[in-house]
Structure 1
Amino acid sequence: MTITEVSEKFDIPQDTLRYYERIGLIPRVNRTKSGIRDYTEEDCKWVEFIKCMRGAGLPIEVLIEYVGLFQQGDGTIEARKELFIEQRRQLIAKIEDMKKTLERLDYKIAVYEQGIVEKEKALRRPEY
């Protein structure tokens, strides 16, 4: 696949894909004889993985560390697992914070809606 196809498939800007490759978040993508990136299915799996992890808020630095450990082989499985356990713990904490924020927003919306209802009632008073 070309970079354009991968960009469209995963809804990631081409510049972001180039950046991810440059900093080592995705392995070096093979190129055609004319120098055009030629993404394999395996490359696309990396792109999908990185997009998922970034969408969940994992920092680029953590992902770079993970990719580096992955490339070192099976001797780093435990370190990779621990890295993910810590990121999972942090993600759960973020989710809890977001739930509290959502509850507060729901409350504020309800307060405003109640205020609007009261205002509308006042405007519809019977005329004598």
Structure 2
Amino acid sequence: MKLYSPAETAAKSGFSIDTLRYYEKIGLLSGIARDAAGRRVFTEADLAWLGMLRCLRDTGMPIAELRRYAELMRGGDETFRERVALLKAHDRRVEEQIAQLREQQRKIQGKIRYYEQESGVSAPRKAAAEAVS
């Protein structure tokens, strides 16, 4: 079984070493093994779990909900329904965020079109002009 140092785990997960320590302290990471010198070592399963935490954090799940999800995970198969409910609620929030971002993107694109029309420079011509200079 491949084991990873905290530095390797931080690099692979995108979380800082301090965040890994914090996540362990608050219970998001549990059962982290230690080597003979007492240093933390992480497994592939730990990296997979961190990947899920990264996904949920990057999509805006609050720490309190992450902690609840971790508790449910430790609760075994009988918590599947609760996990599904928690993830569905989060998924709905992500959908709302995506819709808001799309609307904001449409406004940005409208402003780009306005400036291009006003200046007489379209994106393709501008890119071609920049390539020549």
Which interval holds the TM-score relative to the shorter structure?
0.7 to 0.9
Matches within 5 A, 1:22-101: 22-101=25-104
Secondary structure of the 1:24 match is coil
Deviations 1:1-39 (A, max 9, x none): 000011112222111111111111122311112121110
- 1:20 matched residue in structure 2: 23
CA RMSD of aligned residues (A): 1.4
Deviation at 1:71, TM superposition (A): 0.8
Name the CA distance, whole Å, in 1 between partners of 2:116 and 2:21.
Answer: 47
| Alpha-carbon separation, structure 2, partners of 1:116 and 1:22 | 56
Identity %: 33
- The answer for unaligned runs of 5 or more in structure 2 is 122-133
TM-superposed CA distance for 1:112, in Å, is 2.0
TM-score normalised by structure 2 residue count: 0.82
Q: Shift in Å at residue 59 of structure 1? A: 1.5
Amino acid at match of 1:55: D
SS at match of 1:53: helix
Residue of 106, 114, 119 corresponding to 1:116? 119
Q: Structure 1: give runs of 5+ residues left out of the alignment.
A: 119-128
| Offset, 1:47 | 0.8
**Paired residues of 1:2 and 1:38 also in contact (CA < 8 A):** yes
